[in-house]
Amino acid sequence: MTPAPAWRRVVPPVIVLLLVAAIWDLVVHLGHVQDYIFPSVENVFRSLVKNWSGVLASATWITFQEMLYGFLISIALAAAISLALHTSATLRGAIYPLLIGSQAVPIVVIGPILAIIFGYGISPKLIIVAITCFFPIVVNLVDGLASVDPDLIKVMRTLDGSRLATLFRVEVPSALPSFFSGLRIAAVYAPIGAVFGEYAGSQNGLGYVLIQATPQLNTDLVFAAVLLLTVMSILLFVGLSLLEKICCPWAGKGKK
Amino acid sequence: MTSTAGSTASEPEAGIRLKDVGRAFGATVAVSGVGLTVPLHGHLSIIGPSGCGKSTLLNVISGLDDPDEGTVEVLGATTSQDRLRRCAWMPQRDLLLPWRDVLGNAALALENQGMRRKAARAQVAGLVERFGLGSFERKLPHQLSGGMRQRVSFLRTLVAGKEVLLLDEPFGALDSITRADLQYWLRSALETEPRTTVLVTHDVEEALLLGDQVVVMSARPGRVAAQYATGFPAEASRRELLRLPEFTELRDELLARLEAAS
């Protein structure tokens, strides 16, 4: 099966997006909606350009760093814990239920507590981003490691594969596609984590811009910040998809 | 041409020896009272109705599984650990690692045995070339045809350097032309790389072509229902064999046995 050419995957959503923007602007203009209530797309971009060098550029850079470093910390932790859970049934029995339970703790509430402990610097944001991203990565990786074809394990045993050789030559590579699905989901959560972290206490970042601009009814700036957050999230998602294509050229190719 | 089961005196050079082997899974008795002897570098084919415990028997021989009753001896080894060290197992599905190219898959066992990646790849390159896969050595499994994948899988099994090859319907998933092609290829491969083989198959002609002994198993619980020695000229082509009256007679008799067993 050959994949659809790139333009066939890109053009339809772009058309829909342009349509939505056009309808949005039409409604705002025809309804004479005030900018502070609901800005037109045109004014959002105007605000984006006007505030880029003053506020948004540095805020975007700060939030991007929080997202990226938090994400990387999360990946490292998730990989280590998934391998440990996979290798030891005892650990899995003891820790996995708690991991799932930990998802019930609302991140919004953890933010202020971390701000009290760590202050207004980058560390509480990294922790929150890492926590938000952690769960989808671990769940997908543990699943991926566990769902290896049992016959492959049998083949490894008859080919003198030790437990460790089987882990790194069979289980880890075959879990990669599943690991990447986890990463893609986590990439969508990363900006949410960063913004929550900044809400709880910060001096810069897109979350900081949001929390400052909203009460000032600077709504076009709010939308501009949201747009930047969305674009970063999409870029991270697309970057990961490309990385997956490079790392797992076999994935989704008929036989697994 | 017919020889009675298990009566061959236990020569010391026996490759594989099974005595009264039984294996049950819960209430289901898969095999029971199986006795078999395969001499060193002998080729045994096992045919039988579906669910007669053929695959169970291979697992038991390989050391992937242990029998509930009886003894299994592979080149003198009796524990499952030691048997695993002497047996290589090749199932119907090629089970190649999709992220490794042809060389990488073929070299897997050498790497498992502690050889460095580069050295292992270099060592199998000659064999890959000799088996007609040279121009595909850097291709990933999904870029190969089913027949080629199965050839790589067999190569990987050979490279492991095991004395005993256990083949579980290795060509079952292939179309008949590719299958005939590979059966012939396997025969010549085993002539240059002599091994003791046990082949499980549904295909009576395949059993005759690749085995110097053919065992027919009964329906569950699997037992040895009949045993035949073949001994057709090794250099004869498939077409020549199909014209030999001894070959067709034995084939018809095996088919009748198989029908009676199911």
What is the reported pLDDT for A79?
Answer: 95
**CA-based nearest residue to B83, from A153, A155, A158:** A158
Low-confidence ranges of chain B (pLDDT < 70): 1-13, 234-235
Q: Which residue of A has its CA nearest to B139?
A: A250
What is the reported pLDDT for A219?
Answer: 92
Domain ranges of chain A: 64-247
What is the average per-residue pLDDT within A97-121? 86
pLDDT band for position A18 (cuts 50, 70, 90):
very high
CA angle A152, B213, B262 (to 5 degrees): 75
Would you call A112 an interface residue with chain B, using a CB distance cutoff of 8 Å? no
Fold for the domain defined by B14-93+164-261: Rossmann fold (3.40.50)
**CA of B111, closest CA in chain A: separation in Å?**
9
Q: Which residues of A touch B162 (CB under 8 A)?
A: 158
ipTM > 0.90 (yes/no): no
What is the reported pLDDT for A205?
Answer: 93
Domain ranges of chain B: 14-93+164-261
What is the average per-residue pLDDT within A49-72? 94
What is the reported pLDDT for A144?
Answer: 94
Burial annotation A147-172 (CB, 10 A radius, 16+ → b, else e): ebeeebebbbbbbbbeeebbbebbbb
What is the largest distance, in Å, between two alpha-carbon atoms of chain B?
53
**pLDDT(A20) > 90:** yes
The percent of residues in chain A predicted with pLDDT above 90, rounded, is 65
What is the reported pLDDT for B13?
Answer: 65
Q: Which residues of A touch B98 (CB under 8 A)?
A: 174, 250, 253, 255-256
What CATH number does the domain located at A64-247 have?
1.10.3720.10
Q: Are strands B196-201 and B69-74 parallel, antiparallel or unpaired?
A: unpaired
Cis peptide preceding B245, ω within 30 of 0: no
Is residue B20 within 8 Å of B33, Cβ to Cβ?
yes
Would you call B180 an interface residue with chain A, using a CB distance cutoff of 8 Å? no
**pLDDT(A61) > 60:** yes
Query: B128: which 2 tokens?
Result: 């890959």
The pLDDT mean for chain A works out to: 90
